[in-house]
Amino acid sequence: MTNDPVGGLSDEERDKYREEWEQVSEKALLAQILAELQQIRVLLSGTTPAGATQEGDDAVEYECDLCDWSGPEGDRERHARGQHKCPPGEWAGMFTERETQ
């Protein structure tokens, strides 16, 4: 049994992973890559792709403590800065979390 100096894998372990890799179809790999890219886009943009829902986002809304506005988490900063001229970074304390049914 020879040890792999880079990955620390034995010949047996490398053969096992090589066999597993060869059994995965190209279509399955591309589907997994696409799903991961979509997740990255969602995280970077803060939005939900069409046809998908983010767990918990639909159940939580926020109410503005200064007026009667309510909306999702992602719209709080836009509301605070647009309606109340709040300085950047100081808007988070202006809202109260409200559970929706």
Where do the structural domains in the chain lie, given as residue ranges?
1-54, 57-99
Total-model pTM: 0.41
Residue 12 pLDDT: 92
Q: What is the mean pLDDT of each run of 10 residues along the chain (101 residues)?
A: 62 88 78 86 70 55 89 87 83 81 59
Residue 6 pLDDT: 53
* CA 14 distance to own-chain centroid: 33
Residue 4 pLDDT: 47
- Cβ density class 27-40: b for 16+ within 10 Å, e for less: eeeeeeeeeeeeee
